[in-house]
Chains A and B, each alone.
Chain A
Amino acid sequence: DAGVIQSPRHEVTEMGQEVTLRCKPISGHDYLFWYRQTMMRGLELLIYFNNNVPIDDSGMPEDRFSAKMPNASFSTLKIQPSEPRDSAVYFCASSLSQTNEKLFFGSGTQLSVL
């Protein structure tokens, strides 16, 4: 398996633009997680899915953020409109269970909003 695949690796955009981040989890993993990494707050969980269904989105900062998982092999995280404070590294991870199996992380998307 190629592991968790994220795209793009880097995204530079202007304030107000829509940004879409993409993730392909490891085949057979039932759980998919979106995390955001910042210097101030470390790795924060934004939302996670179980069998394509969003289970907990309490970490999503505000209504500008949305996430979907239309099938077992694809998820998107969308920010509309983007703001400079959204600049961070966004990681997608997948695992066999919610908590007692290790997470496999993608390579992350470095987002810069100017």
Chain B
Amino acid sequence: ILNVEQSPQSLHVQEGDSTNFTCSFPSSNFYALHWYRWETAKSPEALFVMTLNGDEKKKGRISATLNTKEGYSYLYIKGSQPEDSATYLCAFSGGSNYKLTFGKGTLLTVNP
């Protein structure tokens, strides 16, 4: 069983704050790391797929970094807006079978 841990479980911030959260995964046999955004009553939507150590990806105010040697990825949101409120999921692929294993997510609430 591959453990993909996300922290914190939930987070409340004020509009305009910048925030970040963490995804930890096994550092051996890494293949890919995904980030998804999941709004209430909708389905998860992909933000980033990263495959190389040191990868940095950016989409608007959201960016992500990847450290495969130590087994973590950070997701950053700059200047949070209420519409950023969602659950942010990471998913790790690696190990012996390369299946995508999801973390339980970080629930972000941005207060206006």
Task: Tell me, rounded to whole Å, the shortest Cβ–Cβ distance linking A93 to chain B.
Answer: 8
A45 and B101 within 8 A (CB): yes
CB of A25 within 8 A of chain B? Answer: no
For B97, give its contact among A56, A100, A101, A108 (CB under 8 Å): A56
Task: Tell me, rounded to whole Å, the shortest Cβ–Cβ distance linking B3 to chain A.
Answer: 12
Bin the interface of chain B by size. 20 to 34
Q: Closest residue of chain B to A101, judged by CB?
A: B49
CB of B102 within 8 A of chain A? Answer: yes
> What does DSSP make chain B's interface, helix, strand, loop or mixed?
strand
A42 and B34 within 8 A (CB): no
Task: Tell me, rounded to whole Å, the shortest Cβ–Cβ distance linking A104 to chain B.
Answer: 7
A102 and B34 within 8 A (CB): yes
CB of B72 within 8 A of chain A? Answer: no
For B43, give its contact among A42, A48, A101, A108 (CB under 8 Å): A108
- Report the separation of the CA atoms of residues A42 and B102 in the bound assembly, to the nearest whole angstrom: 8
Contacts of B43 in A (CB 8 A): 91, 105-108
Contacts of A13 in B (CB 8 A): none
Contacts of A104 in B (CB 8 A): 46
For B98, give its contact among A91, A98, A101 (CB under 8 Å): A98
- Report the separation of the CA atoms of residues A14 and B104 in the bound assembly, to the nearest whole angstrom: 29
CB of B44 within 8 A of chain A? Answer: yes
CB of A103 within 8 A of chain B? Answer: yes
Say whether, besides A102-B46, A102-B49, A107-B43, A42 and B103 are in contact (CB < 8 Å): yes
For A99, give its contact among B42, B46, B98 (CB under 8 Å): B98
Contacts of A103 in B (CB 8 A): 34, 36, 44, 46, 100
Contacts of A42 in B (CB 8 A): 102-105
Q: Which residues of B contact A (CB under 8 A)?
A: 31-32, 34, 36, 42-46, 49, 51, 89, 93, 97-105
